[in-house]
Each structure stands twice: as C-alpha cells, then as structure tokens.
Amino acid sequence: MSDITAHLPGKLGNPDAVLATDGRSDPRLVGIIAEVGEIAPGVATVGPDASYEECLAYCEAFEAAAGRTNPELLANLPVVDSVTSITEVIPGVDGNEIRLYIHRPKQSDGPIPGIVHIHGGGMVLMSATDPSPVRWRDSLAEMGMVAVGVEFRNGGGRLGNHPFPAGLNDCASAVQWTYANRERLGISSIVVSGESGGGNLSLATTLKAKRDGWMSQIDGVYAMCPYISGLYATPPEHLLSLHENDGYMLNGRMMAALVRVYDPSGDNRANPLAWPYHAERGDLKGLPPHVISVNELDPLRDEGLAYYRKLLAAGVPTVGRTVHGTPHAGDQSFPDIMPEVYQDTLRAIYGFATSLSCK
C-alpha cells in the first residue's frame, strides 16, 4: 500500500502546516489572515502548567490586545434600519445583575422565533457588547428573529473573575427570563445558541435545565463550534482535529490556560455542566432538538461531532453540520469576506428555529 501520510490533512500530514497555506482553506481567508495576523498580537501564550494567577493575567492581556480595534469596528458596523434594540437588566441567582441586549425586527406579523445568544470566548473572555456579537444579533433580527444576547459573568478578563458555574447560572437565568417574557417579546419558540464557549454554555444550559426540571422552556439548541471537552493540555488521539488543526487560530496550550481559569481547582473536569463532552446517555436522553455545527479547519471540530453522535445515540433529534473551508467560528467571523457563508449559517438557524415554531 502506498504511503498516505503526506496526504493526511493539516498537521497530520505536515507538522509545519498553517491555516493560510492549508489547501482546504477558503481562498478568501488567506489574504485576511495574513493582513490581520494574530488575534491578540504580542501576547505570549502560557502553557498548561501555568498557575491560576498566570492564566488570569493571560486572559486580561489577551482580551485587551484583541479588543484594541473594537471602537473602530463598532463605529463601522453596518446600520440596519429594520432592526431595533433595547437593554434589560435582570437579577441573577447569586445576587448579581445580568444585562440582556435584545435585538428585534421593527416590523413583524405575529410571534417570531427567539434566539438566546451566548457569545464566545471560552467562558472566560469577551463581551456581548463586542462588535461580532452585536453584528450577529443585528443579523439574526434582520433575518426575522428576536435575539437576546446574554452578558454573563466571565471566568476572567474585565467581566471576571467568576469561575464555573457563575456564567452558566447567568445563562440559565437569561433563558428562564426569556421564557417568562415570551408574550411581551412576541416570540414563538426559544432556541439557545452560541459559538465556541457560547456553544459550551448553550449545551450546558440545556443539560442544567433538564437536571433542574425546566427543560420544557427550551425548544431547541443550535451550538456552533462548541468548546466542550476541556482535554486540551493532553489531547486524546481520538479527537484528531485537536492535532490536525492545532494552531489554526486556536492552539492546545492557549485553550488549556482558559480551562484553568474556568475551573481553577479542576474538580469539574468530567462534569457535563462544565464540559458537556462528558455527558452520558442518561444526561442527554429526552433533550430537545439540536443542531451541532462545526468548522472543518477548527481544532474543536471533532469534539463537536462526538457530541452530535452522543445525542443521536441517546435518541435526540439532531443534525450535524460541517462548514467547509473555515476555521473556528469562521462562518460567523468574516461576514464581509465570506458573505455567502455567513448568510448560509443565518438561514440555517432561522430554518431550524422556524421549524420548532411550527411543531
């Protein structure tokens, strides 16, 4: 048999492979990757053996560096005349306040689908007021949905330091508030959705709802590129994408540091509410319909697909979706570079949410 090693994808075939030169990458990305460079320029990654304090400092530096262009990006967001937005402040279960950013169409004929959107950032970084989540909520609303963005407490950064389960508690409170106010909001169904760390919290919120007896408040889950295993310090061989795509926007060392910030003691490394990848059949059985959407060139691709298969095995109505040619959250992150890909994901979410409204 011929040697196929050199033809294996990504770093499995070439240890020196990078996203910009990987032949699977959408060609439109290559130029922008070279132009933009690192997500957080000048911030040195700490390793899995770093202390909690060192990981917190890394989060602060990463978030500050990544956010330097936010004022300019926010100022240049497209004006969406058909969408209006308001802010609600609701109480959290820990005596805290939670801000909800609600975007909706100015005109609608009757109830429309509702999306509780949970932003990415590994549960320890970033904000619902960053340019990407703001534009995403506008786009969801422009598509014909009510988007409720959750400003949950982060494990680190400027909205920290609040380790697990603080952020999860806030997301659960946001979903329950949305359900209690569904008539005022004019929504026909509730889909919990998010990308990366938001994908984790979308899945974990649903698992928590089942455990706590309010699962009927969630009609569906649309998790994008979910960050759910926590196994980044020593990635297992069966999660091939953690090896194949390591360093493609994300790397194992970086993600291991974020794990330490989210769960400083490590006591929750196998807790499905912290890391849904570890859910068992009994945790999953009876859950509402799911879509698990992953990106072909993402280190996290295979843990998302593993969760998709677990859901199917537990009898949960589930669709698996792979967005080819894209890195982590690439179908959401490059609306002007790959508008067709961005719009396709929006249409997929709208179609899923609308189908639940008709059940």
Question: Residue 301's domain is classified under what CATH number?
Answer: 3.40.50.1820
Q: What domain range includes position 187?
A: 40-357
What per-residue confidence (pLDDT) applies to 22? 93
Residue 155 has pLDDT above 90, yes or no: yes
Measure the CA–CA gap between 268 and 264, rounded to whole angstroms. 9
Surface-to-core class of residue 141, CB atoms within 10 Å of its CB (0-12 exposed, 13-18 middle, 19+ buried): buried
Residue 339 has pLDDT above 90, yes or no: yes
Measure the CA–CA gap between 72 and 130, rounded to whole angstroms. 11
Q: What is the mean pLDDT of the chain?
A: 94
Q: pLDDT of 81-113, one tens digit each?
A: 999 999 999 999 999 999 999 999 999 888 999
What per-residue confidence (pLDDT) applies to 41? 72
Average pLDDT over residues 291-300: 98
Q: How many structural domains comprise the chain?
A: 1
Of the ranges 35-44, 211-220, 238-247, which one carries the lowest mean pLDDT score?
35-44
Decide if 25 is inside a domain. Answer: no
Average pLDDT over residues 235-253: 95
Residue 359 has pLDDT above 60, yes or no: no
Decide if 8 is inside a domain. Answer: no
Residues forming beta bridges with residue 115, ordered by sequence position: 147, 191
Decide if 267 is inside a domain. Answer: yes
Decide if 34 is inside a domain. Answer: no
What per-residue confidence (pLDDT) applies to 7? 82
Query: What is Dmax (Cα atoms) for the chain?
Result: 65
Residue 121 has pLDDT above 60, yes or no: yes
- The enclosing H or E element of 304 equals helix 301-313
Decide if 33 is inside a domain. Answer: no
How sure is the predictor about 331, in pLDDT bands with cuts at 50, 70 and 90? very high
pTM (2 d.p.): 0.96
| 300-322 per-residue burial string, b: 16 or more CB within 10 A, e: under 16 | bbbbbbbbbebbbebebebebbe
Per-residue 3-state assignment (H helix, E strand, C coil) for 140-181? HHHHCCEEEEEECCCCCHHHCCCCCCHHHHHHHHHHHHHHHC
Query: Which DSSP string corresponds to 24-55?
Result: TS-HHHHHHHHHH--SSTT-PPP-TT--HHHH
Decide if 337 is inside a domain. Answer: yes
Average pLDDT over residues 228-233: 97
Average pLDDT over residues 163-185: 98
Measure the CA–CA gap between 334 and 340, rounded to whole angstroms. 10
What per-residue confidence (pLDDT) applies to 109? 86
Decide if 46 is inside a domain. Answer: yes
Decide if 4 is inside a domain. Answer: no
What per-residue confidence (pLDDT) applies to 33? 74
How sure is the predictor about 1, in pLDDT bands with cuts at 50, 70 and 90? very low
